[in-house]
Structure 1
Amino acid sequence: MDDKLETRRLRYFMQVLESGSVRGAAEVLGMDASAVSRAVALLETECGARLLERRGRGVAPTDAGDLLASYLRRQQSQKQHLLAQLDSIRKIERGHIDIVAGEGFVDWLMRNSLRTFMQSHPKITIALDVGSSDEIVKRIVDERAHVGMLFQPPKDERLRSHHSHPQPIQTLVLASHPLARLGRPLKLADLQAYPGATLHRGFGVRQHIEAAEISEGVRLNALLTTSSFSALGHFVAAGLGYALSTRLSLPAHLDTAEISALPMKNPLLHQGRTHVISRHGRVLSPAAMELLRQIVSDTADPLRRVNQCPQDDFPDARA
């Protein structure tokens, strides 16, 4: 493939995909947009197929473009693995790791796995990005992140789950809220009389809630819809109403006795699990593997979950 296709054109092509447009790629590369366009056109001639097609104001890969991009990413991954293996001779002293996680896991990661890892490997750089479940899956599948942590990913043969743990969805309210005084698992109908907050539909938590709504024939009207788990916690802490979420999603400074996590009756809200994932078949660098092992060890260790995570960050499923 390298003998047939010119390396610079391949690099320009991948930058166009990353930027979403020829003009955007040209700005990153410090080139004229027409030069980038010509290079991609020559690459299409070499491949004998269209690689890009217009999509709105930008471009998107054709089927042939997807095949080429997948090949180049695998090639780059194998190259990175070789370099990382050579680097491992220096006992994982240098390297870079990309992590993508739901916002609800960021606080836990920083207080546990990332803190431990970064203290032990001070020269390894880490990029920690936050996204919805859909965004996390896409970044892992596209090999733009080494490790992902999210709530209940979709069934996808391209994903590998290294560890999962039950994570029930509960109703978060102030301890003084009327719902906290019912003294029994809640039905969704119990929530209808009160204002609530929820996540956008791209989040696994919201998708589970919608499935439960259908099963109970109930539709909840949210006062606040957000992409921020932190916003849900502040909504509850301010006494504005309830939030259907996981206890882990609460920022540490809000996870106090003033907020109650009430169990739900619907079994669908007990089926969710927290997963630590990577791209199936991708060979991770030694540094990424070391961090992955650290995260798996921390999430699987009940003593760490109970003693270091307020209110048992990874509780067992309860009826």
Structure 2
Amino acid sequence: MELDVRRLRVLHEVALRGGVTAAATALHVTPSAVSQQLVQLSREAGCELLERSGRGVVLTAAGQLLAAHAERILGAVEHAVAGLAAMRQQVDGTVRVASFPSAAGALVAPAAARAMAEHPDLDVRVIEAEDQQSQLDLRSATIDVAVLQEYDHVPAARFNGLERHPITTDPMHLITPSGWGRATRRLADLPDVPWVASAEHTPCGRSTLRACHLAGFEPDIRHRAIDFALTLDLVAAGLGAALVPGLALRNVPAGVDVRPLDEPVTGRQIFAVTRIRGTAPLRPAIDALLRALTATPLPTPSDAPTRPPVRHPARRDSGSW
């Protein structure tokens, strides 16, 4: 029996994404092409890997077993490639990095430019994506590095097979309409005002709620915004106060007072995630980007007397995160 590694990658995508259509989208091919690859892989394996379920298909027990092995096989192939790259000691090739929006512009873009300036044969591709999508793409090897966030009071989910590299701490700032005349560093000073917050299910929204609870009050959240630019516009219009991380405060509109928080302090940790490569060194290209991420100075929020962010040395955490 001989199994094609490329077809194993297709099977891995179907298992990871939960279906043929989602796998096809991730692989930039048609669902028909995915189905054809899986039919051929079934012939190679000598058993059915898919079965009908309602209007779609699901993996059979044999398909689930082979998909689990496929993830390990693909990891071993990548491990071998990384080892060979490290032996050459050349920083070249393409590194694909995905990041949530506020860090993509303020942190990842200048880090990518810095890394490519230092290593002319390096090609860094930046992709804007939310955390959950980045983690899926990282596990499927669609990207090489994911820049993620973890808010205080809202621990991020940890996944086997992924390795965490701390970058920096991004403190939250208290923003209020200038017309209120109530610029403050203390949440406890604003228990009686309307609030703007992110959606209830988001880490930022949950962190805001928890921080207000720790300050001793239930916030009157009247407006919800996913985009920090909209949050700033709502505050500028006098519609409420908000908690916003520093990286989202590069372009503060007129009419907004910005102050870093006193106690209770809240913020978010920003970190990069890569696939685990055992004891072998990281591929030099990925390592170069990680160094640039930790060395890139963070922008100072406009109109804010800020305390410096906490920077972490580039290192690899042991085990999965």
TM-score, scaled to structure 2: 0.71
Residue aligned with 1:28, SS: coil
- Unpaired runs of 5+ residues, structure 2, are 312-321
| Structure-1 residue corresponding to 2:319 | none
> In the alignment, does 2:226 pair up with 1:223?
no
Residues 85, 284 of structure 2: 8 Å contact kept: yes
What is aligned with 1:286? 284
Q: CA distance change for structure 1 residues 255 and 103 in 2, over 3 Å: closer, same or farther?
A: farther
Distance 1:168 1:71 in 2: 38
1:5 match: secondary structure = coil
Q: Which amino acid aligns with 1:290?
A: A
Q: C-alpha displacement at 1:73, in angstroms?
A: 2.9
* TM-aligned CA distance change 1:285 to 1:27, over 3 Å: closer
Report how far residue 122 of structure 1 moved. Answer: 4.2
CA shift in 2, pair 1:289/1:210, >3 Å? same
CA RMSD of superposed structures (Å): 4.0
Higher helix share: 1
Query: Where do 5+ consecutive residues of structure 1 fail to align?
Result: 299-303
SS of alignment partner, residue 29 of structure 2: helix
Identity of aligned residues (%): 18
What is the CA–CA distance in structure 1 between the aligned matches of 2:77 and 2:2, rounded to whole Å? 17
Residues 234/83 of structure 1: CA separation in 2 closer, same or farther (3 Å cut): farther
Aligned residues of 2:7 and 2:38 also touching (Cα < 8 A): no
Q: Which residue of 111, 114, 132 corresponds with 2:112?
A: 114
**Offset of residue 63 of structure 1:** 4.4
Q: Match of 1:71?
A: 72
Aligned pairs for 1:201-212 within 5 A: 201-202=201-202, 204-212=203-211
| 8 Å contact from structure 2 (residues 196, 231) kept in 1 | no
Q: Shift of residue 206 of structure 1?
A: 2.8
Residue identity matched to 2:251: H
Q: Deviation of residue 274 (structure 1)?
A: 2.5
Q: How far did 1:104 drift?
A: 1.5
Q: Secondary structure at the match of 1:112?
A: helix
TM-aligned CA deviation for residue 64 of structure 1: 2.2
Aligned length: 295
SS of 1:151's equivalent in the other structure is: strand
Say whether residues 1:277 and 2:273 are aligned partners. yes
CA distance in 2, matches of 1:27, 1:107: 26
Q: How many angstroms apart in 1 are the aligned matches of 2:31 and 2:56?
A: 20
* Moved beyond 6 Å, runs of 4+: none
1:165-197 CA deviation, whole Å, 9 max, x = no partner? 3333232234343441xx45113x825532413
Evaluate the alpha carbon distance shift between residue 264 and residue 41 of structure 1 in structure 2; reply closer, same or farther with a 3 A threshold.
farther
User: Matches of residues 35-114 of structure 1 in structure 2 within 5 Å?
Assistant: 35-42=36-43, 45=46, 50=49, 54=53, 57=56, 59=58, 63-82=64-83, 84-85=85-86, 88-89=88-89, 91-92=90-91, 94-109=92-107, 112-114=110-112
Q: What per-residue deviation string (whole Å, max 9, x for no partner) do you get for residues 217-274 of structure 1? A: 6254241232x33333343345443332212122x3338895413526435x25x422
